[in-house]
Structure 1
Amino acid sequence: MATTWLATGSAPAKLCFHNSSKSAARGGFSWILCSATNPRSLTISAAATSAEHTECAAVPREQVEVIRSLNGWVAENMLPLLAPVESSWQPHDFLPCSAAAGAGGVSEAEALASFTEGVAQLRAGAAGVPDDVLVCLVGNMVTEEALPTYQTMGNRSEGASDDTGVSSLPWAQWLRGWTAEENRHGDLLNRYLYLSGRVDMRQVETTVHHLLRNGMEMLMPSSPYHSVIYGAFQERATFISHGHTGRLAGQHGDQALAKICGAIAADERRHEAGYSRAAARLFEVDPDGMVRALAHVMRGKVTMPGLLMSDGRDAACGDGTLFERFSAVAERVGVYTARDYGDLVEHFVRRWRVAELRGLSGEGRRAQEYVCGLPPKVRRLAELAHKRAARSEARPVQFSWIFDRPVMPG
């Protein structure tokens, strides 16, 4: 899992979610064009968070029962998407060989020479990757490394959680299997970045530490419907961002990184397929409940996993939060853009045949209308952001991840 974000245009104008204490109190977010110099535009205040949690409605029991009734379906349709451990790739497969001396008759000198040569080749490829692409790679890696937070989120969904830690129920097996496959992503990117010599690993590690301590504002209520929808969106966004990063790495001569990002993107696509299939099945079983859940998520309950990332220097930076700066760079280089987000929303509206739903309640019909009208709204706001950005003068921002070298934002 990586980051879903929206940021368009140059530094002063970006498309993002805004949560004021007033809107949080009534359970909603609003779309605004916010200034990159206003870090609070992407920060959820403690007071707003407290109000939202206090007023959160309980998860409908019928949703929990529907989810539990799908355990057999999950076993047949989702668990086969998880690759067997024995045939799965591991981070070591993409990195310089670390075979011990004596294995296969290799001497200590030969083993060291092989490893050293592998590191030299990796560094030679990494040398051509531009700083802005490195920033995107680090941001994605930091988000992947916060995996414990995401498993916690999955275990909050009653009916689809792993209640005992070793449950044999298919939903629990999926959650553990998904976590095991996702765990390789941060490991692989972390080791690549360390061996590349291109980044300040202590600052990168500090950012991971901060993000895990800061946590993530999770979906409220902890509805299993919301979690399945969130999972589908997040996995597709991750597939897109890793895929684009790999493409850019290949264009700049780093075929090793291109292969790494491709392998991770392929995992994300399988995971998206699992969550997307589950959501489609839920739309068949409970269309009214699911369309209302989808609208709820789209109105702003999707909190970007890396939103609270920090390198400990945000206050002294003066150019917005670390997440804002990272998002702006990702938008400019094309790793993940507002257009990608609009396409993603449109993809799932079409995939789940939201416009074709019939027999909905009044609230369900309003949710349907809102969701189906969202993609063009996102694109219009993105275009507005670009126009406003074009009238503004962008200036370089520094990232501690790359030894404070300046990078142009969006």
Structure 2
Amino acid sequence: MYVPDYTANGFNLTRPIFGHAWFQANWGYEESKHGLTFREYLIRSGLRTEEQYTEFEQQIFAKVWNLPFHTRRQMTCYGALQESATFLIYRTQLEKARQENDEVLEKIYFYVSRDEAAHMGFYIKVLQFEMEEDREGTLADLAHVVYHFQMPGVGLIPEYDRRLGIDGVGISSQQFLQRGIFPLLKAVGTNRQDLVRLLHKKKAEPPKVNLSLEKVAMAVVG
């Protein structure tokens, strides 16, 4: 439901770069389809009524999402991390649907997780280019974003912490660390030690992480 906020803010950063701006437009379209798909599943399955969904929409739109970071490169780092986390969450739900023999939901999570993997791949490719042009600066931005990372729903979605506390909804800190952050670092040609070195070089402010991923950020920075 925050796709308009995501795309508008994203365009403000990517406007000077045709390819990146084009990706932002395509990303917004694909994420909108994901939202519509989940909406249709919830209503057609009878898990939610139209009235319940409308009420939830009103709560969602009462708040506006703003950029957690303010440079294009930092938001590219954030995009890679966020898409990685979302991909892992969707794949977990895919396996759950498969175990419960829910063929429709399994297919939904297959297609949306495939999109998330493609989005993550784009961000990683951009970061690889950034590393070629300015390795030290890119690593500094990546270290900063990892240290302060939180999912976009924090502070926006009603009862966010309670929802995450429901068994089987999210992923553990260790899962994100091992299957999300470490593979990302390897893909861009760096490691945990590089991030720790840069964070020690530049004193960082206390992390503002309010999610089950808090331990992940702390584990990465030592």
Give the TM-score normalised by the residue count of structure 1: 0.46
SS at match of 1:197: coil
Q: Which residue of 2 aligns with 1:350?
A: 186
> Do the aligned partners of residues 208 and 368 (structure 1) sit closer, same or farther apart at CA in structure 2, a change above 3 Å counting?
farther
SS at match of 1:215: coil
Task: Please point out which of 269, 274, 284 is paired with 2:132.
Answer: 284
Mapping of 1:299-378 within 5 angstroms? Answer: 299-300=147-148, 302-311=149-158, 322-329=159-166, 332-333=167-168, 335-343=170-178, 344-355=180-191, 365-367=197-199, 378=216
In the alignment, structure 2 segments of 5+ residues that lack a partner are 203-212
Do structure 1's residue 263 and structure 2's residue 111 form an aligned pair? yes
Does the CA-based 8 Å contact 2:89-2:170 persist in structure 1? yes
Do structure 1's residue 242 and structure 2's residue 90 form an aligned pair? yes
Task: Please point out which of 68, 75, 78 is paired with 1:230.
Answer: 78
Does the CA-based 8 Å contact 1:229-1:294 persist in structure 2? yes
Give the C-alpha shift of residue 288 in structure 1: 1.1
Do structure 1's residue 150 and structure 2's residue 29 form an aligned pair? no
> Do the aligned partners of residues 183 and 199 (structure 1) sit closer, same or farther apart at CA in structure 2, a change above 3 Å counting?
same
Q: Which residue of 2 aligns with 1:215?
A: 64
Give the TM-score normalised by the residue count of structure 2: 0.81
Q: Deviations over 1:104-162 (max 9, x none)?
A: xxxxxxxxxxxxxxxxxxxxxxxxxxxxxxxxxxxxxxxxx2211211231232xx23x
Does the CA-based 8 Å contact 1:236-1:272 persist in structure 2? yes
Q: Distance in 2 between matches of 1:310 and 1:235?
A: 18
Task: Provide the aligned length of Structure 1 versus Structure 2.
Answer: 207
Q: Distance in 2 between matches of 1:350 and 1:201?
A: 45
Equivalent AA in structure 1 for residue 10 of structure 2:
G
> Do the aligned partners of residues 341 and 201 (structure 1) sit closer, same or farther apart at CA in structure 2, a change above 3 Å counting?
farther
Between 193-202 and 252-261, the greater mean CA deviation after superposition: 193-202
Does the CA-based 8 Å contact 1:288-1:364 persist in structure 2? no
When Rg is computed on C-alpha atoms for both structures, the one with the higher figure is: 1
Higher relative contact order (CA 8 A, sep 6+): 1
Moved over 6 A (4+): none
> Do the aligned partners of residues 182 and 347 (structure 1) sit closer, same or farther apart at CA in structure 2, a change above 3 Å counting?
same
SS at match of 2:65: coil
> Do the aligned partners of residues 173 and 240 (structure 1) sit closer, same or farther apart at CA in structure 2, a change above 3 Å counting?
same
SS at match of 2:62: helix
In the alignment, structure 1 segments of 5+ residues that lack a partner are 1-144, 312-321, 382-410
> Do the aligned partners of residues 379 and 233 (structure 1) sit closer, same or farther apart at CA in structure 2, a change above 3 Å counting?
closer
Q: Deviations over 1:249-295 (max 9, x none)?
A: 12112111100110100011111111111111111111111111111
Mapping of 1:2-41 within 5 angstroms? Answer: none
Does the CA-based 8 Å contact 2:83-2:117 persist in structure 1? yes
> Do the aligned partners of residues 243 and 369 (structure 1) sit closer, same or farther apart at CA in structure 2, a change above 3 Å counting?
farther
RMSD: 2.9
Identity of aligned residues (%): 22
